[in-house]
A = this chain, B = another copy of it.
Amino acid sequence: MRVAYQEVIQTLEEILFKNGFSEDRARLCAFLFAKASLEGVASHGLDRFPVFLEMIRKNLVHPDAESSLLDSYGVFERWNGNLGPGPLNAHQCMDRAIHLSKEFGVGIVALQNTNHWMRAGNYGWQAAEAGCIAICFTNTKPNMPAWGGSEPRLGNNPLVIAIPRSKGHVVLDMAMSQFSYGKLKTYLREGKDMPFDAGFDMNGNLTKSPESVISNELALPIGLWKGAGLSLLLDMLATILSGGNPTFQVGESGEESGLSQVFICLDAEKLGIMDWSDQKLDQIIGDLKSSLTFGDKEIRYPGENNMKTSEENMQNGVTVDDKIWKSIIEEL
């Protein structure tokens, strides 16, 4: 079904307010959930909202906990998320990184002891809209094997790179697993194999079977040993820069709480790249789109679809899963 964007925000806001959020924080958190669905990432927007409320009720996410500054070294700051709502902590830390970059050209914030930030890309868009280049990443609970391993030890540790551009920001939002468990479950429900190798079976062979990957918790790292290595290094960076938990400790409780994240910003104006960045980005995208293709595939740049989906959903209402929306409405 379709629900008007403003109605989505107001509904979520009201529910969050009833669940211990202050008015301001309820509004911002509702916006971040709604924005994900608006831009076509319902899996990390409205679809997650019921799980988010459950995390609050389990006392894993503390609605009124605000992140606090631990250390400040000019261009670099370390923050404690105090187990507050992940989206609010992440938004605040990206905001700090933006402010630092406006002052120093570069700003980096490392955040410990936070919760799932839901849609990673949100914080990339936030930076790009403020005229900043951004790189941010988070660790997660273990959900992928090490290269050669037969049990989950690595997180799929989403990585975002965002670049501001007048004709539409470029925002890459990718986890280190080839497919999310959400996508695997969708194919499983539909009784279909994944279109590409998605993980390992119980003998360590590559498989497209969502059932096999889900039951073994052996999702495929992108590029096999390469994505496994990248996931490991992102976890190490997030852990030592923030002083927080690594993936394996996040996994120990059985719940995904107490994460570590990093937010890096570079201010385009302060670093003098405004003179050429739009032109160079347009040229790169132009070259990409002029490529010959197999069949009638259209080549798109990261973020392009989000913008189109957003415009369409803003006009016609946000597409929401009927069951999910019903369960959300019941919380009012």
Question: Which one of A8-16, A26-34, A281-289, A311-319 contacts B?
Answer: A281-289
Q: Mark interface residues in A143-167 (1 if CB within 8 Å of B CB, else 0).
A: 0011111110110000101010000
On chain B, the residues within 8 Å of A130 by CB distance are none
Chain B residue with the shortest CB-CB distance to A224? B196
Q: How many monomers of this chain does the complex have?
A: 2
A122 at the interface (CB under 8 A from B): no
Q: A195 → chain B, closest Cβ, in Å?
A: 9
Q: Is A331 an interface residue (CB 8 A)?
A: no
Contact, CB under 8 Å: A229 / B74: no
Q: Return chain B residues, CB-CB under 8 Å to A323.
A: none
Q: How large is the interface on A (under 10, 10 to 19, 20 to 34, 35 or more residues)?
A: 35 or more
Interface assignment of A254: CB less than 8 Å from any CB of chain B:
no
User: Is A55 interfacial (CB 8 A cutoff)?
Assistant: no
Q: Which residues of A contact B (CB under 8 A)?
A: 71, 73-76, 78, 104-106, 108, 133, 145-151, 153-154, 159, 161, 163, 170, 172, 174, 178, 196-197, 200, 203-204, 206, 221-224, 226-227, 229-230, 232-237, 239-241, 243, 246-249, 266, 268, 270-273, 276-277, 280-281, 283-284, 287-288, 291-295, 297-299, 301-302
